[in-house]
Amino acid sequence: MIIKKLYLILTILLASTSVFAASGKNFIQIKGSDTMVNLGQAWAESYMETTPQDFISVTGGGSGTGLSALISGTCDIAMSSRNIKTKEIEIAGKKGIKPFEVKAALDGLAVVVNPKNPIDKLTMNQLAGIFTGKITNWKQLGGNDGQIVILSREVNSGTHVYFKEHVLRKNNPASTEEFAASALMLSSSQAIADEVAGNVDAIGYYGMGYISDKQKAVSIAKDPNSEFVAPTLDNVVSGKYPISRPLFLYTNSEPAGLVKKFIDFALSKQGQDIVIKTDFVPVSK
Amino acid sequence: MRKIKEFFIEKLILICGLASIFFVLLIFLFLLKEGFAVFKTVSPAKFLFGSKWYPISEPAQLGILPLILGSLLVTLGAAVISIPIGVASAIFIAEVAPAKLKEILKAGTELLAAIPSVVLGFIGMVTLVPWVKNIFHLPTGLTALSGSIMLAFMAMPTIVSIAEDALYSVPKSYKEGALALGATQWQAIWRVILPAASSGILAAVMLGLGRVIGETMAVMMITGNAAVLPHSILQPVRTLTATIAAEMGEAVVGSEHYFALFAIGIVLFIISFGINVTADIFLHRRK
């Protein structure tokens, strides 16, 4: 009797492991940039519509989170809104993982203020001044008298890193500019959008996709002599808008199997149409 | 046979009992091992008293003084709000309220304890934060004060229920004696019952504060998380817990930043250990 039961349990165990093994082949886990979560989700949904036997799961957490998951082998594709750091490649190498980079879309970073704020254009220098804390009152920029409230994403955000390197430090690797210590660190783009919508003196930044009529996107000029450019699809594609960045998918060594099929889909005409639909900018092809 | 059975069960229970101590030790050892690695690159004094927290810059600046002060400021604010209200409501429940109201109030405080902190944080974000901003005419409502008020709600149930227990366990004869000597009810509470229950009430306060200093989610949502040395409670602050929660996902395993976050964990562990030990001392003094 007992032996019979044991056999039963054994067969069940064996059966379940084989089921898991089979499902392992058509299941991939995608993780990373919060900016790209909606995009990744949209890709996954429309991909699974055509191939219902495959299953793709997409979660956020930040670019750094996704890349460390790729390095520790807990996801198949990492979405990242910044380049992988050399330190991360080193650590990945130690664990036998070779990150492979695919540029999948572009993103314009919008700088937003409350619609009631009269300021609607800024130069890159003024932006850097605001976010490093050198300009502290809107009056200094010709606006109302009010202390500027700086909103930033947390340090686990690729957007934070990109903004620091390209706006605050103006692409100069030797620069040591930092966000003002008084900058509020919010944990999501949505939190920044909400705070800007409710606070006349706030200024924040995030991907174009989050702009609504409750915020006002500021036009940006590279320097005082060049024209002010609004963050629109056309301006990002043409490269006129100065704060735009590539969005990446990282895989372990060259993509193969389902991972490759998924990335090919993301880069296809259909995949790039989804990019436009989710308010990002397609990679020019 | 029965003796052997007894023996095994006894030992099994013993192991279960020791397990919690064992786990605490393991956690502490792990924290120490990972956290102390940061002191290879930063001196402990610079880590504890440095005023700049820029963990992902090159070279990283790892000074956690703003974070420690942020945590302490939020906790202090929560204490100022929750202790008087909590102790007063414990007195009301234990001594004054009629039996029916007492049951309702007790159930109510327990319900307050059951609300997840992320829910409190969310409610605070949409209601309290704009309110604080408008009342004090601040540039932003994401301040230490908002965090303190929300955390006071979280500390209150602990303070009320433990303080109420302490008041309840004061022998009835004390109160009867006081009343028989001609004291009013307030005099009996203030002069006799409160002093008799004081160590239990102190323990209640300490345990409530222990909950506050370890709280993460609500604090992260409503204090603004700016790592600046706080000058007033109407400023944004960044707490120790919020820093760990917000940055652990990004920190590359084995990097300076990663070790620094563990070192923050040690600091937190020491603070809450201290609070718990103090609470324990007061609880035992009562017996």
pLDDT in tens, A56-86: 999 988 888 899 889 988 899 999 988 898 8
pLDDT in tens, B32-42: 999 999 998 88
| Partner-chain contact B247 A155, CB within 8 Å | yes
**pLDDT score for A19:** 43
Tokens coding A49: 């519509």
Cis peptide before A99 (omega within 30 of 0): no
pLDDT surpassing 60 at residue B232: yes
pLDDT in tens, B80-99: 999 999 999 999 999 888 98
CB contacts of B227 in chain A (<8 Å) are 181, 185
**pLDDT score for B237:** 93
- Which of B140, B225, B261 would best serve as a mutation to test chain A binding (most A beta carbons within 10 A)? B140
Mean pLDDT of B242-254: 81
Whole-angstrom Cα distance, residue B199 to residue B204? 9
**Helix ranges, chain B (H):** 2-36, 44-49, 65-91, 99-114, 117-123, 129-136, 144-168, 172-180, 185-187, 194-214, 217-222, 240-247, 256-286
| Of B57, B220, B254, Cβ closest to residue A178 | B57
pLDDT in tens, A140-179: 998 889 999 999 998 878 788 889 989 999 888 888 888 9
**Which residues 6+ apart lie within 8 Å of B255 measured at CB?**
A87
Whole-angstrom Cα distance, residue A117 to residue B143? 22
| Partner-chain contact A181 B227, CB within 8 Å | yes
Say yes or no: B144 contacts chain A, CB-CB below 8 A.
no
| Partner-chain contact A181 B250, CB within 8 Å | no
CA distances from A118 to A33, A196, A262, B111, B279 (A): 32, 14, 45, 47, 54
| Partner-chain contact B236 A182, CB within 8 Å | yes
Mean pLDDT of B269-275: 90
CA A257, chain centre distance (Å): 25
Distance from CA of B127 to the nearest CA of A (A): 12
pLDDT in tens, B148-205: 999 999 999 999 999 999 999 899 899 899 999 998 989 999 999 999 998 889 989 9
pLDDT in tens, B50-76: 988 988 777 788 999 999 999 999 999
Whole-angstrom Cα distance, residue B220 to residue B67? 12
Q: What is the mean pLDDT of chain B?
A: 90
State the number of CA atoms in the 13 A half-sphere of B142 facing the CB. Answer: 33
**Which residues 6+ apart lie within 8 Å of A94 measured at CB?**
none
Q: Indicate the pLDDT class of residue B240, thresholds 50, 70 and 90.
A: very high
CB atoms within 10 A of CB B174: 15
Work out the angle at residue B210's Cα, subtended by the Cα atoms of residues B205 and B214, and round it to the nearest 5 degrees.
150
CB pairs under 8 A between A and B: 83
| Partner-chain contact A155 B246, CB within 8 Å | yes
Q: Whole-model pTM?
A: 0.76
| Of A149, A154, A183, Cβ closest to residue B246 | A154
| Partner-chain contact A91 B142, CB within 8 Å | no
CATH superfamily of B48-285: MetI-like (1.10.3720.10)
ipTM score: 0.74
Chain B residue with CA closest to A90: the answer is B252
Angle between helices B144-168 and B65-91 (to 10 degrees): 40
The single-letter code of the amino acid at A119 is I
| Partner-chain contact A149 B140, CB within 8 Å | yes
Distance from CA of B57 to the nearest CA of A (A): 8
Say yes or no: B244 contacts chain A, CB-CB below 8 A.
no
User: In the block, which residue shows the tokens 């940061």?
Assistant: B38
Tokens coding B39: 């002191």
Q: Indicate the pLDDT class of residue A211, thresholds 50, 70 and 90.
A: confident
Q: What percent of chain B has pLDDT over 70?
A: 99
Q: What is the mean pLDDT of chain A?
A: 86
CB contacts of A184 in chain B (<8 Å) are 140, 142, 224-226, 236
Residue of B224, B122, B40 lying closest to A180 (CA atoms): B224
Beta bridge partners of residue B138, listed in sequence order: none
- Inter-residue contact A100 to A252 (CB < 8 Å): yes
